[in-house]
Chains A and B, each alone.
Chain A
């Protein structure tokens, strides 16, 4: 009656949760994918129209081209965060989080399943913006491996952050505060719309404390082969941040903080 197929299908539990999380956002892809792609394109339209002829951030790179990787990364990060955080907060508020808590899924499996779904959501949104953008603008691909690495690590980092926020928040307005007071400022002040070299030195220093800066700069490097700092530094900062946040997330899940009273 028990444990007959647990060996054979060891990964079926977390796989099912991953699949459920994917279906959850895909069913409402109009909101979860189409809407953010649309928003990013509006930014692109407005900013490139206003600034394209006036600003050249890197030699030979138009402002519009410069902007695209930043917008892709910003949307990818916001959506990776939104995926895990909204899934958890909804499940907590609705009470259906218990369907997962009653199962033999380990805290590591929960983490991996939520994280993987966030990564997919981030990548799908990012890819959506990219595909629409290249219809209008020529975009080089100097180092595709860097592009992919930053995209995956960036969505993983924000996916983990979303799990933390989802566990911590008890109400939707606390989650909104997270979005409005942490995610939005960090993403806007990260160099999406400008190179931080154009900032006064005080703000340059401040920008270096923002993990979003490294994700956007490294991602952009992947396209143009130039950036504000070395992509290897960015990569190291992001990997270190990811490991730190994952450690915190796993510790929260393991302790049952706010999930198991």
Chain B
């Protein structure tokens, strides 16, 4: 099957700044892919090249086999992109914007039912006739998402779609996006909410300074860390030196120890007992994507 997105050795410089340094990435049709990385890693730059808003300095990107530069018509027809910047057209209301957006992609009245569905799914029904200028920030973000979906594109790219969106909508929006994914749409997502990526994405790529530094299924990435850790609440005490080497972090009287093996729990408790330190509370913590992220990408 032709990959949904094929990125080959993409470089992008802004003057002396190398925003992308040879990115290679293939995303298959039907994937729910997470593109993660710290601020300035190059995620949006990569997405903007994919969308045709920027031109690569070097390298190629194709969408369903269509080159985004040479065959831009076909490539863009297949793409729906939610940009990171919160932009809007103050002249029109939500429904008008969606109709226009669908129209640019060659869709007309026959598409109206879909537009209504998108409006409903994103909780914009009450606001359909409200001028874009009068929407709240989170509402504008929803409208931006709706616009990207207006022509029902097979490949959907969301650049931080949940920034500024309230909890309730975030849930309904993800349900909708997950449904689209089940129906065969390919989803590419960037977010700084790592729990979100962990739950939604089947595969994750992590970027740092314009390069992909990790690329694997979410479950493999989670396995990669030694993993679990133990959180014990001890009160104000002097920790035995033997335990200091595996101390990951401390928050007042709660200590987190990194475990290389679950059997270490017994040893830790043994050390505490020998030092006469009573344990007030104790929890076992699973490694999450955030730990992997910190480990690979650093803060």
Contact = CB atoms under 8 A, between A and B. Distances in A.
Answer yes or no: are A and B bound together in one complex: yes
Given A2-B78, A9-B108, A256-B55, A106 B83 contact: no
Contacts of A10: 106
A101 B147 contact: no
B129 to A, nearest CB: 14
Contacts of A2: 64, 74, 77-78, 154
Interface in B66-123: 72-74, 76-79, 81, 83, 85, 87-92, 97, 100-101, 103-108, 110
A51 interface: no
B54 A104 contact: no
Nearest to A9: B106
Contacts of B88: 94, 96
A100 interface: yes
A102 B55 contact: no
A3 B90 CA distance: 31
B154 A24 contact: no
Interface size class for chain A? Answer: 20 to 34
A103 B130 CA distance: 24
Interface in B165-206: 184
A102 B76 contact: yes
A16 B151 CA distance: 14
Contacts of A9: 106-108
A148 B54 CA distance: 41
Given A13-B105, A16-B104, A96-B89, A102 B154 contact: no
A224 interface: no
Interface in A87-108: 91, 94-96, 98-106
Contacts of B105: 13, 103-104
Contacts of B92: 20, 23
B100 A20 contact: yes
Contacts of B101: 99, 103
B259 to A, nearest CB: 47
B103 A15 contact: yes
A102 B91 contact: no
A261 B54 contact: yes
A54 interface: no
Contact of A104 (B77, B87, B110, B147): B77
B53 A104 contact: no
A239 interface: no
Interface in A1-17: 1-3, 5-6, 9-10, 12-13, 15-17
B52 A94 contact: no
Interface residues of B, number: 37
B86 to A, nearest CB: 8
B85 A95 contact: yes
B104 A1 contact: no
Contact of A103 (B83, B104, B110, B184): B104
A110 B147 CA distance: 19
Given A1-B152, A104-B72, A99 B89 contact: yes
Contacts of A6: 77, 106
Interface string B226-264: 000000000000000000000000000000000000000
Contacts of B27: none
B127 to A, nearest CB: 18
B297 to A, nearest CB: 26
Residue among B92, B103, B107 with the highest chain A CB neighbour number at 10 A: B103
A13 B104 contact: yes
Contacts of A3: 74, 77
Given A3-B77, A16-B100, A102 B53 contact: yes
B256 to A, nearest CB: 43
B51 interface: yes
A260 interface: yes
Contact of B53 (A1, A20, A101): A101
B87 A95 contact: yes
A260 B52 contact: yes
B74 A98 contact: no
B55 A261 contact: yes
Contacts of A15: 103
A250 to B, nearest CB: 16
Interface of A: 1-3, 5-6, 9-10, 12-13, 15-17, 19-20, 23-24, 27, 91, 94-96, 98-106, 256, 260-261
8 contacts: A1-B154, A2-B64, A5-B106, A12-B108, A16-B104, A102-B52, A102-B76, A104-B77
Given A99-B97, A103-B105, 20 more contacts: A2-B64, A2-B154, A5-B107, A6-B77, A9-B106, A10-B106, A12-B103, A13-B105, A19-B103, A20-B100, A94-B87, A99-B87, A101-B52, A101-B53, A102-B52, A103-B101, A104-B76, A105-B104, A260-B54, A261-B53
Closest 8 CB pairs of A and B: A16-B103, A95-B87, A103-B104, A104-B73, A96-B89, A104-B76, A104-B77, A96-B87
